[in-house]
């Protein structure tokens, strides 16, 4: 399975905006869609983000995901490189398409300077990069490729990255396998590692995918070790036997609850499921252990005909370790012919591996938890795959004819913009659920401490909601959601899970706030009080 480069290199967008004007620019489109800055053609510097470099665990940071290094203000560069010098534990990557517009030097060994080459006409950029920037390390990204780049001079280059054009641009160019192999062969002849981005998987095929890193870009290890193995190295994994994998559910959605694992390595800071430690005997922090279940095969799947089967109520069935153990895949295979209504809850894109099986099962719904479009906030609160990867997976599953849900949960007051999320997903999901952040668990202090540190302006709001039990904020969100549904011709329901596909572009919006107070059986009950 291909590794997503964004799981290995984190975006730190200290500068947003670019003057180059590439027709295929995803960053410009995102800025305009989400109103991040007023004018994308006028780059802005966000010095408050410099504190992200103070993280103790070594990481790889791309500092130019939404800008071009050559057009940074010199004062911005001085501040940024000064902060880099104070935090040598990280590796910092920069990209430019205009190396001729800058003359720069540094003595920092943890700086990586790259140039983007998209066609054979741009090969001279590599030489210009070496001439105009001195110090650090050099790399090249061939993305997107609009033709066969041909022979290139890779003298002094320590890494190349190859990708294809993504998105829906009219007339977009799809890279050809021979273009990719040409660059790969040239690099390998010189001993230069190559990383093919995950978007090349359908073009190259898994057997021809090459995903290598140069020494230094994987902190704490070296060479080309798979990132999934690095993440797993700090997880305690053990086998456990259970007499029955199916458990009668007490959730408002009813039916049966199935969890192929105990524990969850996503390590979400707000995870309500951390209470499971009381029943496991684990003393390790939640998120640092995983019990792999072994159970007697389901002999009579028809027993669950017409029942709702929820996979992933207190763990994610598609954790990174699922790629190795395949417990969820085994469970789905055993449910063949059950005619059960299967609901999968995940924060992963590994589920696309099982699209063939999901289509065979019939009544299947796949739900992704997405409570932000901000990757930095996501990284602060969980270790799951990026929001982009979740959204891309949702689109693939939806296009495969399988019902999808965007579970906007938990809604962080003052932070989660559910309207922005709705507009991003409405064309690739059948339902949108809304659930409040519940701080009844032991993580309440941690979350409130986080708010005080990162969002001090929201402290009064969180105090009102979680200490004084003021629900006026969420009552307002309910009204807002109902208006949103009306404006977009979407059904709006209270704590229901209607089955079926929604009209494209008009998903059902489900008010799932404070669902734990719902009474009734098989999800037919209504709230005892309006929250």
CATH number for position 459:
3.80.30
Residues 225 and 190 in one domain: yes
Confidence (pLDDT) at 175? 83
Q: Is residue 491 part of a domain?
A: yes
Q: Name, in order, each residue with C-beta under 8 angstroms of 116's C-beta and a sequence gap of 6 or more.
A: 95, 96, 97, 122, 125, 140, 141, 142, 143
Instruction: Kindly report whether the peptide bond that precedes residue 219 is cis, defined as omega within 30 degrees of 0.
Output: no
Residues 334 and 403 in one domain: yes
Alpha-carbon distance of 19 to 42, in angstroms, equals: 7
Mean pLDDT of 449-454: 94
Mean pLDDT of 406-413: 95
Confidence (pLDDT) at 5? 80
Q: CA 48 → CA 27, 63, 94, 178, distances in Å?
A: 20, 14, 19, 44
Alpha-carbon distance of 150 to 506, in angstroms, equals: 47
Domain extent at residue 220 = 5-230
Q: Is 247 helix (H, G, I), strand (E, B) or coil?
A: strand
Q: Which of 178, 209, 230 is the last residue of a domain?
A: 230
Strand 289-294, strand 261-262: pairing = antiparallel
Mean pLDDT of 243-264: 80
Give yes or no for a contact between 91 and 63, defined as CB atoms under 8 angstroms apart.
Answer: no
Handedness of CA 110, 113, 118, 121 (dihedral sign): negative
Residues 303 and 434 in one domain: yes
Tokens of 186: 């040239």
H runs (alpha helix) in 257-317: 277-280
Residues 275 and 179 in one domain: no
Check: pTM over 0.85? Answer yes or no.
no
| CB atoms closer than 10 angstroms to residue 221 | 14
148-157, 286-295, 370-379: least confident range: 286-295
Per-residue pLDDT tens over the stretch 422-435:
999 999 999 999 99
Distance of CA 428 to the CA centre of its chain: 16
H runs (alpha helix) in 274-354: 277-280, 322-325, 327-334
Helix-strand-coil split of the chain, %, nearest 5: 35, 20, 45
Number of domains forming the structure of the chain: 2
Per-residue pLDDT tens over the stretch 364-383:
999 999 999 999 999 999 99
Residue 219 has pLDDT above 70, yes or no: no
Mean pLDDT of 15-37: 73
Q: Is 78 helix (H, G, I), strand (E, B) or coil?
A: helix
pLDDT-derived band at 239, boundaries 50, 70, 90: confident
Q: Which of 230, 265, 287 is the last residue of a domain?
A: 230
Burial class (CB in 10 A: 0-12, 13-18, 19+), 270: buried
Is 148 or 167 the better-scoring residue by pLDDT?
A: 148
Q: Which of 185, 214, 230 is the last residue of a domain?
A: 230
Per-residue pLDDT tens over the stretch 90-118:
999 999 999 999 999 999 999 999 999 99
Q: CA 382 → CA 99, 253, 313, distances in Å?
A: 36, 25, 17
């Amino acid at each position: 399975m291909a590794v997503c480069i964004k799981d290995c290199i984190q975006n730190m967008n200290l500068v947003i905006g670019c003057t180059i004007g590439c027709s295929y620019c995803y960053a410009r489109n995102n800025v305009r869609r989400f109103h991040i800055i007023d004018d994308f053609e006028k780059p802005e510097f966000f010095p408050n983000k410099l504190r992200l470099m103070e993280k103790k665990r070594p990481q790889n940071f791309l500092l130019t995901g939404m800008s071009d290094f050559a057009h940074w203000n010199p004062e911005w560069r001085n501040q940024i490189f000064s902060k880099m010098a104070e935090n040598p534990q990280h590796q910092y990557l920069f990209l430019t398409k205009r190396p001729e517009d800058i003359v720069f030097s540094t003595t920092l060994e943890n700086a990586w300077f790259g140039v983007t080459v998209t066609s054979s006409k741009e090969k001279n950029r590599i030489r210009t990069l070496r001439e105009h920037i001195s110090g650090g390390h050099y790399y090249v990204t061939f993305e997107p490729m609009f033709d066969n780049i041909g022979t290139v001079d890779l003298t002094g280059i320590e890494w190349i990255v190859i990708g294809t054009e993504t998105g829906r641009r009219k007339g977009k160019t799809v890279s050809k396998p021979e273009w990719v192999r040409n660059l790969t062969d040239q690099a390998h002849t010189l001993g230069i590692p190559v990383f093919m981005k995950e978007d090349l998987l359908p073009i190259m095929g898994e057997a021809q995918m090459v995903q290598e890193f140069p020494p230094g870009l994987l902190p704490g290890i070296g060479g080309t070790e798979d990132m999934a193995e690095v993440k797993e190295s700090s997880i305690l994994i053990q086998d456990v036997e259970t007499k029955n994998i199916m458990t009668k559910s007490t959730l408002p959605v009813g039916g049966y609850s199935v969890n192929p694992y105990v524990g969850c390595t996503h390590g979400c800071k707000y995870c309500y499921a951390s209470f499971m430690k009381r029943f496991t005997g684990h003393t390790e922090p939640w998120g640092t252990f995983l019990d792999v279940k072994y159970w007697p095969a389901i002999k009579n799947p028809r027993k669950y005909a017409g029942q709702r089967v929820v996979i992933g109520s207190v763990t994610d069935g598609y954790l990174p370790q699922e790629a190795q153990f395949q417990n969820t895949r085994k469970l789905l295979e055993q449910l063949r012919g059950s005619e059960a209504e299967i609901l999968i809850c995940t924060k992963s894109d590994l589920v696309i591996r099982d699209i063939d099986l999901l289509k065979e099962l019939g009544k299947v719904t796949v739900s992704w938890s997405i409570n932000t479009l901000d990757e930095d906030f996501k990284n602060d609160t969980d270790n799951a795959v990026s929001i982009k990867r979740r959204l891309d997976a949702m689109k693939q599953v939806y296009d495969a004819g399988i019902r999808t849900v965007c579970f906007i949960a938990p809604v962080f007051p003052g932070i989660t913009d559910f309207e922005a999320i709705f507009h991003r997903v409405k064309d690739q999901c059948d339902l949108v659920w809304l659930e409040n952040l519940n701080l009844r668990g032991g993580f309440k202090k941690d979350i409130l401490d986080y708010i005080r540190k990162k969002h001090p302006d929201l402290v009064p709001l969180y105090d009102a909601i979680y200490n004084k039990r003021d629900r006026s904020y969420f009552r307002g969100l309910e009204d807002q959601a109902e208006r949103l549904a009306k404006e977009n011709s979407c059904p709006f329901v209270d704590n229901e899970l209607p089955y079926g596909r929604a009209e494209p572009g008009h998903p059902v919006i489900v008010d799932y706030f404070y669902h734990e107070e719902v009474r009734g059986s098989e999800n037919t009950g209504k709230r005892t009080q309006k929250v």
